[in-house]
A and B are shown apart, each in its own frame.
Chain A
């Protein structure tokens, strides 16, 4: 018999199967294995906290092939790590552009050689940027799926089997979060290329301040706070761009900067090397500067 319920069930199973073909077992700690998701034939994205050893890492592919892997890069701030496989035989996952609140999702893992494990839920919330114990993340997804043991590093997938994000329970307090796929892929790309995540650098020290009513009016937008520049490092990108002590930083790259978290978010990802428009309040008047964002060492 076939009805809409059976069809839905079949499509969920097909989604799990499709994403399962890109979900691998990651053996890099003494306790139980964890999971990973392939984003290139030779590259596996997984959770940083499940990598407890840099030597002797192995990955079990869905077809049963076991291969050695090297740690290509890791970013404790976002709890992401990239492994490079000795045998480039993984099947890269297809990603999903967005996570809609309420959408049906499956959390997938491969914590044992017996096969994939799956848990069903919905997208409960999206948010970010947020501080993590060892850094910060731009955005996150929360779901009500059950993170079974060994699910960290595995994908969250939509009803079509596309990867919505990477799951981790590595931020402590037993909370499982999902890093959105586009963000995770961007971090993964940097980890594969540079071994670490490059974070942008301006060369200022700053302090959050309230904007006066006339200053807010001059900005012509709803922004109540900015960052008062209290020092500018010599030979820094900020100095080269013309920033001076006393400026109130209010926007970077066209996005309002109301606090430090917002500034970090603007300096994350692929900001390094970019000539970005920077807006400051100087003497109460908005001024546009251009700063070539440097790399924080």
Chain B
């Protein structure tokens, strides 16, 4: 079989698998971003998308809209954890592999409000940015992003989350928070909330 046919098939399969794990995170006043479903009602997004957590809503792929509660937020790494009162939805899987410059990536989100848009590129660099409290590791990719991609996943070709798209410089350079930082943030946030946990196999 032709390689491009195989690629198409693999792409379809990846998209089918990841699409149900992508949510829209809305704030009535400030527009929308993306979020990643982690299972057990947990939704990971950017702190700048969640804001102070007032009147947050999460829209699932099947158009179900749920009110969301802000569980934790860390502006230093631009991450926030939300909870919606439903269970049993799809969940994304975080990559455990070290990110490699040159590997292919997809960004998945809602640029300019267009739902479920996939943009492709490669991981450009594994680098760091100076934040308010020292350097934070980040991933840079050459994928095309726009407002609305914030909080959405940067995926590897196995459909695993290698980062959370956080900062959009416009054009074709994006910055994502790497999976290692997502894990650390979730670990610290969930430690303070007995009874809440991410399903096995996600982290």
Contacts and interface: CB of A to CB of B under 8 A. Distances in A.
Interface of A: 1-6, 8-10, 12-17, 20, 106, 112, 114-120, 145-146, 148
B158 A4 contact: no
B124 A118 contact: yes
A115 B3 contact: no
A229 B70 CA distance: 82
B103 A9 contact: yes
B83 interface: no
8 contacts: A12-B102, A13-B100, A13-B101, A16-B100, A116-B101, A118-B122, A118-B124, A119-B122
Interface in B40-59: none
Of listed A6, A17, A116, A120, residue having the most chain B CB within 10 A: A120
A14 B101 CA distance: 9
A106 B14 contact: no
Contacts of A16: 100-103, 122
A106 B11 contact: no
A115 B125 contact: yes
A14 to B, nearest CB: 8
B104 A114 contact: no
A15 B3 CA distance: 19
Contacts, number: 91
A1 B158 contact: yes
B124 to A, nearest CB: 5
Given A17-B102, A106-B122, 9 more contacts: A5-B157, A6-B10, A16-B103, A115-B125, A118-B122, A119-B122, A120-B104, A120-B122, A148-B124
Contacts of B103: 9-10, 12-13, 16
B125 A4 contact: no
Nearest to A15: B102
B172 A146 contact: yes
Interface residues of B, number: 28
A2 B123 CA distance: 19
Contacts of A5: 7, 10-11, 14, 104, 157-158
A145 B121 CA distance: 10
Contacts of A114: 125-128
A115 B101 contact: yes
Given A12-B122, A146-B142, A148-B124, A118 B10 contact: no
A20 B101 contact: yes
Interface string B1-34: 0010011001101100000000000000000000
Contacts of B3: 4
B173 interface: yes
Contact of B125 (A9, A13, A118): A118
B170 to A, nearest CB: 12
A3 B10 contact: yes
A9 B6 contact: no
Contacts of B6: 3-4
Contact of B7 (A8, A12, A115): A8
B156 interface: yes
B140 interface: yes
